[in-house]
Amino acid sequence: MKIGLIDIDGKIPNLALMKISTYYKNKGNEVVLTNPLMASIFDKIYASTVFSWSKIPALPKNAEIGGSGYDLQKKLPEEIDKLCPDYSLYPNVTYSIGFLTRGCIRNCPWCIVPKKEGKIKPYMDIEEFARHDKIMLLDNNVLACDWGIKQIEKIARLNLKIDFCQGLDARLITDKIAKLLSKVKWWKPVRLACDMASMKPIVQKAVELLRWHNVSPRTYVVYALITNDIEDSIDRIRFLKGLGVDVYAQPYRDQEGTIPSQIQKDLARWVNHKAIFYSVDWGDYKKR
């Protein structure tokens, strides 16, 4: 049987599609990463979308569509979900990818994780999917789970380079955790988030602990959600700039795909264009 896989809108390798590929290749089937125009030549099509606002292309009626952008409740069957991804599906990718834990202890109003994954729980061991020396980890709150912390300890022992691309929860970075993180080789800088004003002192404390324990690279990335409350967003961004971290602004876009306002887009453009961010004040930039 010839299986076609379609990655509709992914910016990183699609983990679900890679696991589906492993499943069918293990059964002796041919599996190809393809595009919607070629869908008719395959016996079975699987398509995955990450963002709810992405347009689903025209596909055969028997196509299996999934992903957080399509249905938050739809999950891979257990016998596929726990497989090692097929990294050959994305031959130019030189890192492994996966989750150590699933879910989160928080219930942030803008986040789909509670609906999609539920409460925090152990998921996989790092050695079950690590096939490179660099690993992109997709955990949503790894520090909230004892299993996740034990896995970080194991990662340090294995001398792997990692990136928790969804960020770490600043509220859970204690002196003990910062010391543990200092033993890890970071492929990319530690990422945190400051999405509301109450997080400012918490992020500041976390950054101080990371610096004290020399977690490096020492230029930490902090995501700042740009909400409809522009003044609050600007206040958080200026605070983070003063803290000396690398601020990355993200205009909020809900599950319905509501397009951010122009001022939200402008604010994000000002922050993320570093040459402008460090040389032009927001007050002058918005007058342009």
Question: Which candidate, 232, 179, 170, places its Cα nearest to that of 206?
Answer: 170
Confidence (pTM): 0.94
The CA-based angle 164-166-170, given to 5 degrees, is 85
Tell me the H-state helices in 189-252.
200-212, 230-243
Length of the chain: 288
- For the chain, the structural domain boundaries read 1-82, 83-284
Q: What is the pLDDT along the chain (288 residues), one digit of tens a residue?
A: 999 999 999 899 999 999 999 999 999 999 999 999 999 999 999 999 998 888 999 999 889 999 998 999 899 999 999 999 999 999 999 999 999 999 999 988 888 888 899 999 999 999 999 999 999 999 999 999 999 999 999 999 999 999 999 999 999 999 999 999 999 999 999 999 999 999 999 999 999 999 999 999 999 999 999 999 999 999 999 999 999 999 999 999 887 778 899 999 999 999 999 999 999 999 999 877
CATH fold of the domain at 83-284: pyruvate-formate lyase- activating enzyme (3.80.30)
Contacts of 58 (CB under 8 A, 6+ apart): 36
Contact assessment for residue 210 and residue 183, using Cβ atoms and an 8 Å cutoff? no
What the block records as the tokens of 107 is 């219930």
